[in-house]
Amino acid sequence: MNTQAAIKQQAETHLLEAAKEFQKCMQCGKCRSVCPVFKELGNELYVARGKNKLAEKLVSGDLQITKRVKDAINECLNCKTCSANCPAGVSPEHVVLRLRWYITTQEGLGFFKALIFRHLLWHKWPITLGAMFIGLAQRALFGIGPKNPVRYLFPLFGFSKRRFFPLMALRSAQSQYPEVIPPKKGPSKGRIGYFTGCAGNLIYTNVVKSVVDILTGYGYEVVIPKKQKCNGTPVLANGDYDGARMFMEHNFDLFQRHDLDAIVVACSSCGMALKKEIKVFMEESSELQAFTEKVYDINEFIEKNIDIKKEELGSLPYKVSYHDPCHMVRGQGISEQPRKLLKMIPGVEFKEMKDAAVCCGSAGSYCITHYDTAIKINNHKVENIQAAEVEYVATGCPTCVMHIQDNLLQHESNEKMRFVVEMLADSLRAAKTI
Ligand code: SF4
Ligand code: SF4
């Protein structure tokens, strides 16, 4: 079969899969009451039931791919709130991802997406170098304050001029470590692969340091394969199934070569990709099964495997709340472990915020392409954070940190976003345990 025919056949398979999902829908409308996008925009086409209908009409040929159809399909955070609440077991986010892929096969990926996913992300060095230059520019241009005139250039790159960006690292995390890092003392308790993710590597390098310090401090050998690439989730979310497959197969093969006892991640989307989404792209096998069972979110891994004693923790005298990233709580079923770790820290007064598990609106590239709606959704998160009266909000997802911190700054609110693992490392360092 030639390539074009194969792509056409794949596209039809995806569309039929999407429509099959639709057939389960009972039209009850429950998804309307939970979808964060519907809550802000109130358009039936943007809610799960509407998107399911779109899939059906595209299959039957009653509908063509128009701008309105594409807009509706792109109005989704992949937050999984609808599937978590759907009484019929429909996974509307899978319908959406398949429809995006279908559209890509019909219309092509487009110049910019092809450049980003197939070249810049794939070859990795261009984004590493780009991040370094942006980091230099951020520092040279005296920060990112609201009065900085550089903000007027943001729209040229597709960003709102209101936006506050995090500082990019001058040196990537992966370049700061050897590929294999031995335990700080004693024989190794196990060999742990660390998938840093792009954000950990290029922005939140302190998270990588925290993970490495905790694991090596508690006797593990840590392996950070240098050739690791993006987990594939942003590529998948933009309708590039074949690109996502390339990334997932690459990371699978790479980590398989290192004879690991476990693989940890400190990014909820990376965790979901390596535990679950990879199964959509790779054939079922005992190797794949063993690989996905080895993947842990860092909070999950520490809570399960490391016995941290009270006297090993130093005091952090702060009021702290926790935000559940969608890909952590609904994507991986993790909510108790990070809270447990935070509550263990002496001095921390843990305060649960209202609607902690409701999406913050970041959703990877959604908060770039749909910034105004993403901020409207996030305004509820900011209100709930302010009502909780805390100094820190801890979480486990880089894009949540980025988006919530941006909006907190826009509200001139003093709360700071942090990762749970960073706070835990601070506490262990305060007691000189690591
Ligand atoms: S909640 Fe599920 S069954 Fe009900 S309308 Fe939405 S997708 Fe259909
Ligand atoms: S995944 Fe989230 S944003 Fe998308 S349709 Fe479902 S509830 Fe709405």
The rounded distance, in Å, linking the Cα atoms of 321 and 318 is 10
Q: What is the pLDDT of residue 327?
A: 95
User: Do 258 and 193 form a contact (C-beta atoms < 8 A)?
Assistant: yes
Identify the bridge partners of residue 394 per DSSP, sorted by sequence position: 322, 418
User: Do 19 and 55 form a contact (C-beta atoms < 8 A)?
Assistant: yes
- Of ligand 2's listed atoms, the one at least distance from the Cα of 359 is 2
pLDDT at 130 over 80: yes
- What's the CA-to-centroid distance between 53 and ligand 1, angstroms? 11
pLDDT at 212 over 70: yes
Q: Domain coordinates of the chain in residue numbers?
A: 3-107, 310-430
Q: Two tokens at 237?
A: 């979310």
Ligand 2 cavity residues, CB under 6 Å: 34-37, 48, 76-82, 92-93
Please state, rounded to an integer, the average pLDDT across all residues of the chain: 91
Greater confidence (43 vs 351) lies with 351
pLDDT in tens, 24-62: 888 898 999 999 999 999 998 888 888 888 888 888 888
User: Do 245 and 274 form a contact (C-beta atoms < 8 A)?
Assistant: no
Q: Two tokens at 378?
A: 């996030």
**Rounded to two decimals, what is the model's pTM?**
0.93
Residue closest via CA to ligand 1's atom 6 equals 31
- What's the CA-to-centroid distance between 236 and ligand 2, angstroms? 16
Mean pLDDT computed over 75-99: 88
The rounded distance, in Å, linking the Cα atoms of 207 and 421 is 7
Domain 3-107, CATH homologous superfamily name and number: Alpha-helical ferredoxin (1.10.1060.10)
The rounded distance, in Å, linking the Cα atoms of 32 and 53 is 14
Positive or negative, the CA dihedral 136, 140, 145, 146 is: negative
Candidate of 37, 85, 378 to mutate for ligand 2, largest count of ligand atoms within 8 Å of Cβ: 37
Ranked by mean pLDDT, the top range of 137-141, 147-151, 306-310 is: 306-310
> Is residue 319 helix, strand or coil?
strand
Identify the bridge partners of residue 263 per DSSP, sorted by sequence position: 193, 295
pLDDT in tens, 301-330: 999 999 999 999 999 999 999 999 999 999
Angle in degrees, CA 78, 373, 48, rounded to 5 = 40
pLDDT at 207 over 70: yes
User: Do 213 and 141 form a contact (C-beta atoms < 8 A)?
Assistant: no
pLDDT-derived band at 96, boundaries 50, 70, 90 = confident
User: Do 421 and 207 form a contact (C-beta atoms < 8 A)?
Assistant: yes
> Is residue 186 helix, strand or coil?
coil
Q: Two tokens at 410?
A: 């826009």
Q: What is the pLDDT of residue 292?
A: 97
pLDDT at 143 over 70: no
pLDDT-derived band at 363, boundaries 50, 70, 90 = confident
- Of ligand 1's listed atoms, the one at least distance from the Cα of 92 is 7
For the CA of 87, the nearest ligand: 1
pLDDT-derived band at 144, boundaries 50, 70, 90 = low
H or E element in which residue 365 lies: none
CATH annotation of 310-430: 3.40.50
The rounded distance, in Å, linking the Cα atoms of 316 and 326 is 27
- Of ligand 2's listed atoms, the one at least distance from the Cα of 326 is 2
- What's the CA-to-centroid distance between 31 and ligand 1, angstroms? 6
Closest CA to 34 of 97, 2, 81: 81
Candidate of 49, 80, 81, 82 to mutate for ligand 1, largest count of ligand atoms within 8 Å of Cβ: 49
pLDDT-derived band at 192, boundaries 50, 70, 90 = very high
Mean pLDDT computed over 168-184: 96
pLDDT at 3 over 70: no
* Count of residues in the chain: 434
Q: What is the pLDDT of residue 331?
A: 94
